[in-house]
Amino acid sequence: MAISMKYLVAFVFTAIFIVSSVHCRNKATNGPGYGLKSNQEVLFNHGLCLKGYENCDQFCKRLVYDYGYCTTANCVCVVIL
């Protein structure tokens, strides 16, 4: 009994689909194992927030972060994961 080309192609595409749909564990999770993704935040103490929120946001965007916000005196740059 020979395998026809049609069934062979269907089998190969099915195998590729199954293998490609298997996902590795995402390392950007809250705690060990699986969980909700959290944003990555980096704190800068440049005094940027003393001059206003806009300076912090522009500083973070120049460093290729998504946005920046101010805490009491620190500028926090955020990457959305």
**What is the mean pLDDT of each successive set of 10 residues along the chain, which is 81 residues long?**
81 78 49 60 81 85 90 84 73
Q: Identity (one letter) of the amino acid at 21?
A: S
CB 68 within 8 A of CB 77: yes
The two structure tokens encoding residue 42: 């980096």
> Residue 68's closest CA among 50, 48, 81?
48
pTM of the model: 0.52
Residue 67, H or E segment: strand 67-70
